[in-house]
């Protein structure tokens, strides 16, 4: 029996949680299933319930919950020796403020300051000097309403306003650029006006796809979007990972309809690889 918690993929049994918390009955179903399909916005409680039931799950979200937030992902990059910009983890915004008050900067400016849990560039600040760090810390602590939140500081890679997104869907990787005009922004996010470019610098896209496939094979990620940067001042740059996004936009993949077709193909392939029949699956 294949059990689906995904609202857009039907199976032998489909459970749509909506806003409710998974319960014992869901656990019994998961324990009796040969495979479980999780929603992309999977709550941790559902993931834990399915893993405790011993279920085989798609997507593979073990790393998502073992290394949460930007600071958790930095630990993952270090442990697995994945290429990423030089980064320092701070246990809290307050601890970084105390270090700054003592007169030391964590990186050669300009560098980036990032909060742990913000998305789409909202918690990212470019730091030019000590006064800028002080101002950014005040702003973030005031906006977030807390000083105990983890944070990180990171070398600023000269990207020229270009960030490569590599989307892992099953065994396949799809890449495209998020681009802004140089000088407009250091944070290339589509929600803030970055344009999508699927054709620029195919040579670097190929390097990004190669790294994403290595991560897929080595870490088992089968549904995730990796944001990568290249030092555009280097004549021969290699990709460095900024972060892993488990919930990501679909515009760069051609929109939601195409995305769900690609996702469904990946799910069917995974089911067949596990020795199960995918004919019971359907795409809503």
Which three-class secondary structure string do you get for 158-226?
CCCCEEEEEEEECCEEEEEEEECCCCCCCCCCHHHCCEEECCCCHHHHHHHHHHHHHHHHHHCCCEEEE
CATH number at residue 112: 3.30.1490.20
Q: Using 50, 70 and 90 to split pLDDT, how confident is the model at 189? A: low
Structure tokens at 117: 């849990």
Mean pLDDT to the nearest integer, 126-152:
85
Give the residue numbers spanning the domain of 101. Answer: 86-155
Residues whose CB is less than 8 angstroms from the CB of residue 263 and which lie 6 or more positions away in sequence, other chains included: 9, 169, 223
185 and 213 assigned to the same domain: yes
CB 172 within 8 A of CB 136: no
CA-angle at 249, arms to 245 and 253, nearest 5°: 110
225 and 142 assigned to the same domain: no
* Rounded CA separation 229/34 (Å): 39
Examine the pLDDT at 159 and tell me if it is beyond 70: yes
115 and 174 assigned to the same domain: no
Provide the number of structural domains found in the chain. 3
Cα 43 to Cα 21, 59, 75, 180, 215: the distances in Å are 9, 13, 22, 33, 23
CB neighbours (10 Å) of residue 18?
6
Q: Using 50, 70 and 90 to split pLDDT, how confident is the model at 202? A: very high
149 and 100 assigned to the same domain: yes
166 and 219 assigned to the same domain: yes
Per the rule left: phi > 0, alpha: psi between -120 and 50, beta: everything else, 183 is left
Exposure string over 221-249, b if 16+ CB within 10 A, otherwise e: bbbbbbbbbbbbeeeebebbbbbbbbebb
168 and 253 assigned to the same domain: yes
- What letter does residue 55 receive in the DSSP assignment? -
226 and 253 assigned to the same domain: yes
117 and 174 assigned to the same domain: no
Q: Which residue has the higher pLDDT, 181 or 57?
A: 57
200 and 184 assigned to the same domain: yes
Task: Tell me which of 155, 189, 210 is where a domain ends.
Answer: 155
Residues whose CB is less than 8 angstroms from the CB of residue 78 and which lie 6 or more positions away in sequence, other chains included: none
Amino acid 145: pLDDT: 61
Look-up of token digits 């990423």 = 84
Exposure string over 171-203, b if 16+ CB within 10 A, otherwise e: ebbbbbbbbbeeeebbbbbbeeebeeeeeebee
102 and 26 assigned to the same domain: no
Task: Tell me which of 125, 155, 185 is where a domain ends.
Answer: 155
Examine the pLDDT at 225 and tell me if it is beyond 70: yes
CB 184 within 8 A of CB 258: no
Q: Using 50, 70 and 90 to split pLDDT, how confident is the model at 62? A: very high
Examine the pLDDT at 191 and tell me if it is beyond 70: no
The phi, psi pair for 227, rounded to 5°, reads -95, 125
Amino acid 120: pLDDT: 64
CB 238 within 8 A of CB 210: no
Cis amide prior to 110 (ω within 30 degrees): yes
CA torsion, ordered 181, 165, 197, 126, to nearest 10 deg = 0
Beta-strand pair 2-4/13-14: parallel
Q: Does residue 69 lie in a domain region?
A: no
Examine the pLDDT at 244 and tell me if it is beyond 60: yes
Amino acid 256: pLDDT: 95
Q: Does residue 11 lie in a domain region?
A: yes
CB 165 within 8 A of CB 175: yes
């Amino acid at each position: 029996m294949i059990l689906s918690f995904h609202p857009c993929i039907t199976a032998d049994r489909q459970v749509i949680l909506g806003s409710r918390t998974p319960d014992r009955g869901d656990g019994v179903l998961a324990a009796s299933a040969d495979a479980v399909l999780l929603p992309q916005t999977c709550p941790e409680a559902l993931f834990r319930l399915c893993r405790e039931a011993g279920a085989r799950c798609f997507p593979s979200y073990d790393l998502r919950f073992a290394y949460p937030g930007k600071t958790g992902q930095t630990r993952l990059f270090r442990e697995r020796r994945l290429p990423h910009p030089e980064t320092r983890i701070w246990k809290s915004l307050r601890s970084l403020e105390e270090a700054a008050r003592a007169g030391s900067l964590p990186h050669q400016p300009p560098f980036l300051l990032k909060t742990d849990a913000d998305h789409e560039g909202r918690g990212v600040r470019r730091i030019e000097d000590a006064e800028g760090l002080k101002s950014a810390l005040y702003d973030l602590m005031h906006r977030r309403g807390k000083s105990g939140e983890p944070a990180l500081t990171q070398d600023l890679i000269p990207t020229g306003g270009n960030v490569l997104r590599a989307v892992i869907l099953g065994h396949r990787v799809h890449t495209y650029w998020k681009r802004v005009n140089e000088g407009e922004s250091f944070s290339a996010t589509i929600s803030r006006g970055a344009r999508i470019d699927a054709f620029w610098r195919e040579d670097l896209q190929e390097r990004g796809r190669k790294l994403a496939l290595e991560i897929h094979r080595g870490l088992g990620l089968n549904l995730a979007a990796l944001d990568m940067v290249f030092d555009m001042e280097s004549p021969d740059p290699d990709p460095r990972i900024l972060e892993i996004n488990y919930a990501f936009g679909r515009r760069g993949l051609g929109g939601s309809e195409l995305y769900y077709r690609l996702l469904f193909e990946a799910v069917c392939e995974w089911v067949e690889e596990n020795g199960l029949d995918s004919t019971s699956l359907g795409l809503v």
